[in-house]
Amino acid sequence: MTGTCGSCGRDDEDVVLVRRLYVTPEAWDTPGKVEQGDEERWCFVCRTHYPHEELGQA
Ligand SMILES: [Zn+2]
């Protein structure tokens, strides 16, 4: 699917439906955690740079 990336805003990218993940690293006083964000369409570059869960072509 070609479209606009929901993360970086580039046009004409090969985008895939993903769910953004907000990763909090573990610290001395708090355990690490992963929170789920919104469904977005991301290009390949953003999928390699940012944590996410791939939902597939949609
Ligand atoms: Zn992007």
Write out the chain's pLDDT in tens, 58 residues: 899 999 999 999 999 999 999 999 999 999 999 999 999 999 999 999 999 999 976 5
First CA to last CA distance, the chain? 8
pLDDT of residue 19: 97
Q: Structure pTM? A: 0.81
Phi/psi of residue 55, nearest 5 degrees: -105, -5
**6: alpha, beta or left? (left if phi > 0; alpha if psi -120 to 50):** alpha
- Tell me, in angstroms, the distance from the centre of ligand 1 to residue 40's CA: 10
pLDDT of residue 58: 54
- Tell me, in angstroms, the distance from the centre of ligand 1 to residue 49's CA: 9
CB 21 within 8 A of CB 53: yes
- Tell me, in angstroms, the distance from the centre of ligand 1 to residue 42's CA: 5
pLDDT of residue 56: 78
Domain ranges of the chain: 2-56
* Residue (of 46, 53, 55) closest to 20 by Cα position: 53
